[in-house]
A and B are shown apart, each in its own frame.
Chain A
Amino acid sequence: MSRRLSIGPFNRVEGDLEVTLDIADGRVASAQVCSSLYRGFEQILIAKHPLDALVIVPRICGICSVSQSAAAAAALADATGLQMPVNGRLASQLILACENLADHLTHFYLFFMPDFGRAAYRRRPWHAQAEKRFKADVGEALREVLPARADWLRLMGYLAGKWPHSLALQPGGTTRAITATEKVRLLTVLREFRAFLSRCVFGDTLENVGALRSAGQLTAWAQGRAADFPRFLDIAADLGLERIGRGSDTFLSYGAYAQPEQEGQQDRDGQHLFARGVWRDGAQAFDEALISEDVAHAWLFGEQPLHPRQGETRPLVADFADQPGAYTWCKAPRYDARVAETGALARQMVDGQPLLRALVTANGGSVLARVVARLFEIALVVPAMESWVRALTPGEPFCNQWQLPDQATAVGLVEAARGALGHWLQIEGGKIARYQIIAPTTWNFSPRDAGGVPGALEQALVGLPVGEGESMPLVVQHVVRSFDPCMVCTVH
């Protein structure tokens, strides 16, 4: 028995997604992931003033807005050879970390957990509790989480003016110098968020969570603990979420949150709080030159895989039937010709977080490991943010001045909540001549490449059980949402 199942609109992901499954003998035999919206940001940017990118790129995505700004600012800084003053670097990181953690929280409570409150799970022992706390739109957790999230975003009010779509991140630093009083208030916001996390999310201190090193410790820790992360772990154990959703098991991270060398104790590559690198059965150094994108299965013109420095984006505008193998607007990025997964799990794998390495060693990348990685990151990053605020020096500069060159080729690589985000910029005659973007979900929700190799999610869906009458299988939804896809970034 085989059939084809097309699932869309896929809600509670950011943006437009359709997933098509070929099902044989009750299991997914192959999957196609379609990004069904094309907006053309890479063309919009052509011929603009280079600094206008800072207005345009955040508007690619309202949930990764600051990440897009940070990548553009990094590319512009690369074009000028500019360094930020210490305050500017710390403030930039605080802004990016604020967005990344807000996104992790939004994903957990608004996008991912509501599926466990569905009526289809009503026979599970945890269902009544999950429905009460997490049900979409009405779960009681939302009455705590949304106000806590709004309070958290006050960091943006102080540091970035507003979120989303700020212009505070500039190549030379940030536009908003923080005063001594505001530094106290930033620490207050952090302290209140920490208290919310300890009470509502973890049921423990962030430090105790961050110290868990093995699956056994995690299970023992979660036992009977009345908070939402342990509740998830209980559900995950019952449903076997550690056994579903295995992707390519090649993990890519550009490195998150630059550390100055004089402060650098936590960073293993000497530059980042979470190291830059690639993990494939072991840690490897990252080489930007090994990135390429191909369009063999996209509704785009193009002959061969190109490095984004030479990349192009030319959409089909008619004759879609002439490219019968195409099924998405998304390009297929590859690292050293391989499919790579990116995101919080990749960051923690590359960085060597013992718990995540243990989970992946046991079962590969999984729904469980991806969700655990996000929540771990919250526990690890809040203390780092506290130290960054303490290191701010009111009165010292937040932004260096720059002179943009008339000609330049530059790259900005940052870690967004969802993973590796790169902007490749070419300036000619003082204007943008080329702008290429590879977003985290471009990696994760990539289509097949010219060699027919499916992308990370396409691989992760294969083998999932789908019942005879099921049109919207829950396991498929868990796996898709475990990546926290951002479809508006994917195609841009």
Chain B
Amino acid sequence: MKVLWLQAAGCGGCTQSLLGAENRAGVLAQFADAGLELLLHPALSEASGDEALALLRAAASGDLPFDILCIEGALLRGPNGSGRFQMLSGSGRPLIDWVRELAAQARTVIAIGSCSAFGGIISSGENLTDACGLQFDGDQAGGLLGPDFRAAAGLPVINVAGCPVHPGWVVDTLLALALGAFSESDLDPWQRPRSYTEQLVHHGCPRNEYYEFKASAQKLSDLGCLMENMGCKGTQANADCNLRPWNGVGSCVRGGFPCISCTEPGFEEPGHPFMATPKIAGIPIGLPIDMPKAWFVALAALSKSATPRRVRENSRSDHPVILPGTRKSGPK
């Protein structure tokens, strides 16, 4: 399968993340072995200038058939609808025009990262650049290509959202497409691959014991649960970050800082400082997904009153100050 990759108004971080995929011969060899051919990638391909433009023109006109269009970065419609904030270098034309033409030719279109899925960080604040995603403008269907867009093979834009993406999310999606094993039922309501959004960031969180007892971190670098005070949205965010480690061993909460729900449309404007939990009458506004508020309040009150001293003390330290007891041997 031929893959054409363009970088719109993003940071290139999704590509950088992807290159860190853990594979014995590296992700490029993995793609090649799976029959994925990178026709053009701005950070990787030999072609530049005329060579690259000729290839893009042929792809946009249909003379060069290709299978998958990957777009990384938000689509800038501004100023005043002109697309002038991002011209495709050497072409004298706005990048959004190229993306529209190429999307019309591609068998499948993939948004790589939350910027090209929903607009992402570039669309925050006053959104002076009029940034949007390929098929969403924040949480509103539409975006650059419109709500009814379907690529030639029949799917809407596949939103591999995340800021950045986990390399595995891209690899799994591309390899499933290469196998012909990806269909519309594999997409969630935000058109994200369910392979990684059927889980919550909370699943596999190493702070689970602190969560259970509502033993909360009082400050960053504390070991306690980050939900009550530090703005963590792990109990609401769809992603498998704590089931599939980042960079071999990590994740946001493993790194000591809150999940900001970066796979979700609108994560860039949470309406509160990112690293502080908004509360009403001491109760966090954002409760664990699927959990009725009254239950949460009751459970929190009970579990706080039952918190073992070890868990409470450790939650307020950056390293365990009290170790778990040691089980006596023999049958229990």
Asked if residues A147 and B128 are in contact (CB atoms below 8 Å), the reply is: no
Known: A10-B49, A38-B129, A59-B13. A179 touches B319 (CB 8 A): yes
Task: Select which of A34, A114, A316, A399 is within 8 A of B89 by beta carbon.
Answer: A34
Give A56 to B25 CA distance when docked, in angstroms: 33
Nearest-neighbour CB distance to chain B for A163, whole angstroms, equals 6
B89 vs chain A, min Cβ distance (A): 3
A320–B76 alpha-carbon span in the complex (Å): 17
Binds B, one of A154-162, A214-222, A288-296, A370-378: A154-162
By a CB distance below 8 angstroms, the chain B residues around A176 are 221, 254-256
Check A142 against B26 for contact (C-beta < 8 Å): yes
* Cα of A137 to Cα of B3 in the assembled complex, Å: 13
Given A62-B11, A149-B19, A176-B221, answer yes or no on A164-B164 (Cβ-Cβ < 8 Å): yes
Tell me the bound Cα distance from A177 to B260 in angstroms. Answer: 21
Q: Are B128 and A43 in contact (CB under 8 A)?
A: yes
Which of A46-54, A231-239, A268-276 binds B?
Answer: A46-54
Q: With A and B bound together, what is the CA distance between A45 and B124 in angstroms?
A: 9
Contact (Cβ within 8 A) B128 A37: no
A362 lies within 8 A of chain B by Cβ: no
Which residues in window 50-86 of B have CB below 8 A to A? 50-53, 76, 78-80, 84-86
Contact string, B113-132, partner A, CB cutoff 8 A, digits 1/0?
00000001110111011010
Most buried by B among A15, A110, A114, A173: A15
Is B26 in contact with A8, judged by CB distance below 8 angstroms?
no
**C-alpha spacing A60/B73, complex, angstroms:** 11
By the criterion CB–CB under 8 Å, are B28 and A146 in contact?
yes
A142 to B45 alpha-carbon distance, docked (Å): 13
B247 at the interface (CB under 8 A from A): yes
Q: Is the CB of B50 within 8 A of A471?
A: yes
Within 8 A of A (CB), among B239-266: 245-258, 260, 262
Question: Is B298 interfacial (CB 8 A cutoff)?
Answer: no
Tell me, rounded to whole Å, the shortest Cβ–Cβ distance linking A19 to chain B. 9
A386–B317 Cα gap in the complex (Å)? 27
Residue of B78, B89, B250, B318 touching A16 (CB-CB under 8 A): B89
Whole-angstrom CA separation of A173 from B78 in the bound complex: 39
Partner of B12, one of A10, A150, A316, A488: A488
Check if B49 sits within 8 Å of A8, measured CB to CB.
Answer: yes
In the complex, what residue of chain A is closest to B51 when comparing beta carbons? A472
For chain B, give the interface size range: 35 or more
Q: Mark A165-189, 1 if CB is under 8 A from B, else 0.
A: 1111010011111010000000000
One digit per residue, 1 when the CB lies within 8 angstroms of any chain A CB and 0 when it does not, for chain B 128-142 equals: 110100000000000
Q: A7 to nearest B CB, angstroms?
A: 5
Q: How far is the CB of A151 from chain B (nearest CB, A)?
A: 8
Query: How far, in angstroms, from A349 to B204 measured CA to CA in the complex?
Result: 48
- Is B274 engaged at the interface, CB distance under 8 Å to the other chain? yes
B220 touches A162 (CB 8 A): no
Q: Taking the complex as formed, is A63 at the interface, i.e. its CB lies under 8 A from any CB of chain B? A: yes
Q: Are A10 and B163 in contact (CB under 8 A)?
A: no
- B9 lies within 8 A of chain A by Cβ: yes
Residue of B nearest to A135 (CB): B46
* Contact partner, A154, options B12, B163, B249, B275, Cβ 8 Å: B249
Which of B19, B25, B48, B85 contacts A39 (CB under 8 A)? B85
Chain A positions within 8 Å of B122 at CB level: 39-40, 44
- Shortest CB–CB separation between residue A169 and chain B, in angstroms? 10
Contact present for A317 and B274 (CB under 8 Å) = no
What residues of chain B have their CB less than 8 Å away from a CB belonging to chain A? Answer: 7, 9-17, 19-29, 32, 38, 40-53, 76, 78-80, 84-91, 120-122, 124-126, 128-129, 131, 163-164, 219-221, 245-258, 260, 262, 273-276, 318-319
A36-B86, A154-B248, A157-B250 known, 12 other contacts, Cβ within 8 Å: A12-B46, A39-B129, A44-B124, A62-B12, A146-B23, A147-B22, A150-B248, A156-B247, A161-B257, A166-B255, A317-B80, A472-B49
Could you jot down 26 A-B contacts, CB within 8 Å? A6-B90, A12-B48, A15-B7, A16-B89, A37-B76, A38-B129, A43-B125, A48-B125, A56-B121, A59-B163, A60-B11, A62-B16, A62-B164, A110-B19, A136-B44, A138-B32, A143-B25, A146-B25, A150-B20, A150-B21, A161-B246, A161-B256, A163-B16, A166-B252, A315-B79, A472-B48
A residues in contact (CB < 8 Å) with B: 6-12, 14-18, 34, 36-40, 43-49, 51-52, 54-56, 59-63, 65, 106, 110-111, 114-115, 117-118, 135-138, 142-143, 145-147, 149-151, 153-154, 156-168, 170, 173-177, 179, 315-318, 320, 394-395, 397-399, 401, 471-472, 477, 488
